[in-house]
């Protein structure tokens, strides 16, 4: 793995202390997360307890060539990310004011514990939005609910994710 993409740890606090959640989300979860760039994910909006991502259909995201549907793994990926960003911002509100060391320590432990996806309808569409909302936020584990809609507002899939946040 190239280390060029790694963010020096002393930069974390600067980001964490910024007041623009959109900028933070884009920096950490798009610019610094190669696979999210590969999928073409964009941050639509960030609120206190929920966030929204978007991506456009592309031929290399197809999973079922017979019907032109997005791959179930693309759905799982964006829903995992949507829940993760929501969990991250619920964590962030807790760590504000903490020492640099504490913040860096907690962020290094951040990760998905488990993920469940329900594929409700065929993954058809030109563009897709994924929302992540926090259902519970504890000192160690956050739980998020996620939804994927296409550009016509059709609910295609839902997800639940448990995230380690401390």
Rank residues 9 and 47 by Cβ distance to a copy of itself and give the closer one.
9
Closest contact distance (angstroms) between CB of 37 and a copy of itself is 7
- Site for a copy of itself (CB under 8 A): which residue of 117, 130, 146, 148? 117
Should residue 35 be labelled a site residue for a copy of itself when binding is judged by CB under 8 A? yes
Biggest CA–CA distance in the chain, Å, is 54
Closest contact distance (angstroms) between CB of 19 and a copy of itself is 22
| Phi, then psi, of 74 in degrees rounded to 5 | -65, -45
Should residue 38 be labelled a site residue for a copy of itself when binding is judged by CB under 8 A? yes
- Site for a copy of itself (CB under 8 A): which residue of 30, 80, 130, 148? 80
Closest contact distance (angstroms) between CB of 97 and a copy of itself is 22
Pair of tokens at residue 37: 């760039």
Q: Which stretch binds a copy of itself (CB under 8 A): 16-24, 26-34, 43-51, 91-99?
A: 26-34
CA proximity to 115, closest of 57, 157, 60: 157
Pair of tokens at residue 40: 């073409």
Closest contact distance (angstroms) between CB of 39 and a copy of itself is 8
- DSSP notation for 115-162: EEEEE-S----SEEEEEEEEEEE-SSEEEEEEEEEETT--EEEEEEEE
């Amino acid at each position: 793995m190239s280390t060029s993409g790694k963010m020096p740890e002393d930069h974390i606090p600067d980001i964490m202390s910024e007041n623009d959640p959109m900028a933070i989300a884009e920096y950490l979860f798009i610019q610094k997360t190669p696979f999210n760039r590969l999928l073409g994910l964009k941050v639509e909006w960030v609120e206190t307890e929920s966030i929204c991502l978007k991506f456009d259909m592309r031929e290399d995201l197809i999973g079922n060539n017979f019907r032109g549907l997005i791959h179930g793994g693309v759905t799982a990926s964006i829903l995992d990310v949507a829940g993760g960003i929501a969990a991250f911002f619920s964590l962030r509100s807790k760590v504000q004011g903490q020492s640099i060391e504490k913040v860096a320590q907690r962020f290094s432990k951040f990760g998905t514990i488990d993920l469940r996806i329900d594929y409700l309808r065929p993954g058809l569409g030109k563009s897709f939005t994924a929302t992540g909302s926090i259902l519970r936020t504890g000192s160690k584990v956050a739980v998020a609910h996620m939804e994927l809609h296409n550009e016509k507002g059709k609910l295609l899939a839902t997800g639940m994710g448990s995230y380690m946040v401390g």
